[in-house]
Every structure is written in C-alpha cells, then in structure tokens.
Amino acid sequence: MKKILYFALATFALLAVASCEKNLDIPQKGVTAIETFYQTDADAEAALAAAYARFVTRITGQDGSSIYTDYKAALNNCGDDMYAAGSNFGDNDFMAQLDEFRLDSGNQVVDHFYKNLFQVNYACNLVIDNFKEGLPNGGPTATTKRCVAEARVMRAYLYFILTALWNTPPLIDHVISDGLPFNADKDPDNPMSHEDLFKWVASECEAALPDLDERKSTGDKDGAVKVTKGFAWALQGKALLFVKDYAGAKAALKKVIDSGKYALVPGNRYWENFHVEGDCNEEKVFELNIEENAGLGAWGGIIQRSTWMEANIWNWRSDHFVQGASPQAKYTGGVDGWGGLGVPQWFGDEFFANDGHSYRFDATLKHIDDAVYGMEYNSEEINAMTLEQKKVSDKIGILDPKDGLYGQSFWLPFKQLIRKTDSDRYGGNVRMNNGLIMRYAEVLLLYAEACLQSGDAGQGAWAVNQIRERAGLAALGSVDMNVLKKEKSYELWLEGSRWLDLLRWGDTDRVKQAGQDVPKLFDKIHRAPQSGEKVTWENGSEANSRFYTVSTHEAIDAKYEVGFKPGKHEFFPYPTSVMDKNPNLVQNPGWEAPAKAE
C-alpha cells in the first residue's frame, strides 16, 4: 500500500497558513494510506500546509541549512553590495564562490537551492493535481479552490526564482509519474522561452486571483502569512517588470497599493521588519510563519522549523574580538557568528552620504567605531568607560592578528544580526522570526520603476518619496532611474533584489571586479600594520584612527579566475548531481562539470 506522510509534520518546519500565532503545538499524526487521503476539505488544507512547510524545512538533510538560508545566499551573494566573508579566505567558501564568481556546477548553495525549490514545487503540484477538480464526491468547494489558488501562486513564485537564476528550467506543472523533463525551451510538447516563463508566472497569478482571500486590513496578521490577492498582484507585477511590460506591471502593482491593506511601518519601527517584533506587521505582503512547539526542544525538532544556522553564518565573529568583549554579545543575547557577511566600503559610504543616521541606515549598517565604542557590552567595566578611554583601551577591539575581521570594511552589516528576542525561546542560533518574502516597500519600488519606465514620472516620484520620507529623508521634486536604483539598493539591502536587478539593468561593471580586492579590518592597538601592506585608515591617517583595512586578493593569489563573465554568469549552472541523472537537461552556456577527484 502506498503511504504518504500526513501533512501536519512534526519533523518538518511547520508554517501555519491560517494564523500568525507562534505558540501552536502540532501533534505527530503518523502516516495514512494515500487511497484515503485527498478526500476532504481538511485534506486540502493539510496538503497546502505541507507545501508552505517545505519553504522552511531542512529538506536536504545534508548540512543543516534551511531553504531560507540557501535562498538568501543564492539571491544575494552575487551582488556587488556584499562580501561573502568569514574567519579567513577559504572559510564560507561555498558562498564566496558565488560572491567571487568562481563557482562551478557542484557548488553547494546552487545544488541545494535548485533541488529544494523543486521539492516545494512537488508539494504544490500535489495540492493542485489532487484538488483542481474539487473533492472526489462533491466537486469544487470554496476551500479546494482557495487551496489550489494558493498553491498555484506559490508555485509561480518558485518559477520566478528558477527562471531568474537558471534561464529555462524544466516547467513541471504537475506530478510526474515517469519520464524525465526537458529545459523549458527544449520541451518537445510545449517549448517556452525565458521570457515566456516569466509571462507564465504572471498568468498563473492572474488565474488564481478569483479564488484567493484578500488581506482584511493592515492589522490582519493572518493575511501576512499566506498567499493572498495582494501577494499575487505583487508577484504578477514583478514578473511583468522582468519582461519590460511596464504598463502591465504598473497596473498589477497599483492594485496592491489601492487595496489599502498594506502600509509602511513608521520610520522608528523600520528595524522591526527584520526581527520577531515585526512579524505579520502592516508592511508584510507575504512572509513564512515559523512556528513554535512547546513540546519540542531546540535539538528535538525546532531547528527544522527555524532558519537555523543563518545566525551562525552571518553574525559577527565574536572570537575575533577581544575575548568576552564582542560588541554584538548584548544585542544578540550571546549568539556568536562566523562573520560570513561583509559590506563593501563604497556601498556604506554612498548609503551614509544619502541617508546619514536615518532610521533605515541605522537599522542596516554600523560603523566599526559605533560598534566598538557605542554598543552596550555585557561588561559594566567597559560600559562605564568614557569614549576617550574606549578609543585607547586594549580591553575592547579586534584582537585577531592574522585576519582581523576578514571581508569587512569600516561598515559592518547590522540588519541581519539576530536580536536576543529573535531566539529568546530556544537560545543559540535558532532564529524564530518569520522569513520575509515580500514587503510593501518592495511593491512601491517596483511600482516606481514601472511608472518611470512608462513615462509616469509623477507617480514614480510619489512612490520613491514614500520610501524616503519613511526613512526620515526629504522628498525629491523629481526622480529618475538612477535615483530609483540607489533608493532600492539601500531600502532592500540583503532582501534578494540587488543581483537580479543588476542583471536586468545591465549594471555589471562592479561585479566584473569581484574577488580582486577583499579587505581585512584590523585594530592598531592589537595589531600594527605590517611592511608591504596596502593600508587604508578609517579617518585618513594613522594619527587620528584606530582601525584600518588591508587590501587582499587571496583568490587571485590562489590562481582562481574571478569576476563576472558576460555570456556565462547571467545564470547559474544546473547542478552536476541533477545533470548526471537527467540526460534531457542541457547545461547553461559557459558551464562545465567540476573535475572529479582521481
């Protein structure tokens, strides 16, 4: 007898479709015969819950990373506004390979993410295939139609990502029982180009709209953690923007705006969008609701429900600061990190020149001085020091003499740092704030672009100024694409937009230089500059600076070929492990399988 897991899976990361509540206990219901499943409205809801659950499930079981961690790496690491840093060169290399464009088709992130997306796609197809005609003995119901509609938009979102990153991936819009799929553009029955796939995403959203719920109001928390009309319109507009259908994109995105069901949080609450305090708030169009279970411990199932390891990867390296004096320790509740995220100096400088100490900037980046001198420590002795005492104290600062803070400029990444409240329930690196997919700020910026590109400069300026004014900045009289690009890079930093934007705008000059120059951040009190190093002092000279960076190029020294190559790096390679199993799949241009060890 065939069996399936009953879909309230205690062993998977469970995401609630119906409620934003975080204190639900989900019992293990074992397995049930497939012949007696897919029969009722309750079965439709359970199957849909499983599809949502797959977004945050540690599907591969290979390295403990969740799809949301791979999601962030795949959509951010190739951008020009971050470094894949770490303890030293060679650490965090699976992300650094993306960041420096020295990946191959065996890259871990590419492999995991591609497979994970199709596992979620499979769960969506189960809902669609089994309930598109309704119940076996009753036909369509309001529940089955809504569940199918939500699954269709979720699947469309997966294909937006797959198309953007892999060009023409196989379009698998049903459960496959036999045979192997072809690239979409080589499918013998229904060939679809890269552009066709984006249009398909938009059409799927349009088809699902009549059966989707609409968020009730800006205060409707449950409406932020499931697919609604608002998310379908937003995704439709984004997909149409990617095929330069600016009029269509503008119309779809305007429906989100005109609905009145979403709003920017006030500037003094901007930071909440990225932490548990902001879960399901008025700005969230769609996010993944990560639930708790009072009956499970961190290592007894909760790590499969959270974005576990994300804090490890991207929190600052406490062990490279003076022992017991990490500036992040109080803020994070003691959660250490591997320092896998760095900020290029140019980006921090431009952002600060634009914003100053705006709500947005202060929630996103932190200068090394502000971190070491301004953050609250766990030590009352250090907290009692004056600023002048801290500037010369050897009880604080960057201690590591070899690598300092590898991949860090004078601007440290702050937006991604786990707050103590994000992990209060379980501690460690178990991060329980929801996984952000789309917020209203992105809708406004997509709408602004559609307006500017279709000649509606007035509405474009209106939308950009909504973003600026929330940040605490003055409104601009006019806005062009250059302004839009900058505002979007600041507002949505590390939210999966920048890399795809660079590609479609053709703004790849900086990524062509990726990997050629990576900084190490040092503290002169603990490590003086060494002969032959290319040193940059934070304030222009050693006399009035404590911190300095050293320019390195270790990837080049190791004989790697680095930097974005036109004609190759516009798309990821299909994973070798997938290519080996599917002879119908044609690799993207420029990619070769990694050499096999002898």
Place of tokens 């819009």: 173
Please name the residues in contact with 384: beta carbons below 8 A apart, sequence gap of 6 or more: none
> What does the block give as tokens for 500?
């795809």
> 138-170 as b/e, with b when 16 or more CB fall inside 10 Å?
eeeeebbbbbbbbbbbbbbbbbbbbbbbbbbbb
- The angle at the Cα of 442, spanning 438 to 447, to the nearest 5 degrees, equals 125
User: Strand locations in 428-564, DSSP E?
Assistant: 435-439, 518-523, 535-537, 547-552
Closest listed residue to residue 330, CA positions, set 343, 316, 312: 316
What tokens were used for 242?
Answer: 């990617």
For 417-488, list the strands marked E by DSSP.
435-439
Measure the CA–CA gap between 270 and 496, rounded to whole angstroms.
18
The alpha-carbon radius of gyration of the chain (Å, integer) is 24
| The pLDDT of residue 304 | 67
What does each of the 598 residues of the chain score in pLDDT, given as a tens digit? 232 332 333 223 333 344 666 543 344 445 667 778 999 999 999 999 989 887 766 433 334 445 667 888 899 999 999 999 999 999 999 999 999 999 999 999 999 899 989 999 999 999 999 999 999 989 999 999 999 999 999 999 999 999 999 999 999 999 998 899 999 999 999 999 999 999 999 999 999 999 999 999 999 999 999 999 999 999 999 999 999 999 999 999 999 999 999 999 999 999 999 999 999 999 999 998 877 666 667 766 677 667 767 888 889 999 999 999 999 999 999 888 999 999 999 999 999 999 999 999 999 999 999 999 999 999 999 999 999 999 999 999 999 999 999 999 999 999 999 999 998 877 777 888 888 999 999 999 999 999 999 999 999 999 999 999 999 999 999 999 999 999 999 999 999 999 999 999 999 999 999 999 999 999 999 999 999 999 999 999 999 999 999 999 999 999 999 999 999 999 999 999 999 999 999 999 999 765 544 4
Q: Which residues of 369-380 are buried (b: 16+ CB within 10 A; e: fewer)?
A: bbbbbebebeee
User: CA 259 to CA 252: how far, in whole Å?
Assistant: 11
pLDDT of 81 reads: 98
Run of H or E residues at 83? strand 83-84
The span from the CA of 326 to the CA of 45, in Å, is 46
At 564, phi and psi to the nearest 5?
-65, 130
Between the CA of residue 91 and those of 170, 494, 572, what are the distances in Å?
Answer: 33, 20, 22
Q: Which domains does the chain have, with CATH numbers?
A: 1-192+559-593 (1.25.40.390), 213-290+433-490 (1.25.40.390), 300-423+518-552 (no CATH)
**How many angstroms separate the CA atoms of 88 and 354, rounded?**
31
Residue 588 DSSP code:
P
Q: What is the DSSP letter of 528?
A: -
- The pair phi, psi for residue 83, each rounded to 5°, is -115, 145
pLDDT for position 296: 67
Three-state DSSP state, 199 = helix
pTM given for the model: 0.93
**Which pLDDT score, from 0 to 100, does residue 60 have?**
33
Contact 364, 493 (CB under 8 A): yes
pLDDT the model gives residue 293: 64
7 HSE (CA, 13 A, CB side): 23
Q: Residue 22 has what pLDDT? A: 52
pLDDT at 301: 67
Would strands 83-84 and 341-342 be described as parallel, antiparallel, or unpaired? antiparallel
Distance CA 445, CA 284 (A): 15
Contact of 536 with 404, CB cutoff 8 Å = no
Parallel, antiparallel or unpaired: strands 435-439 and 284-288: antiparallel
Cβ-in-10-Å burial (0-12, 13-18, 19+) of 592 comes to exposed
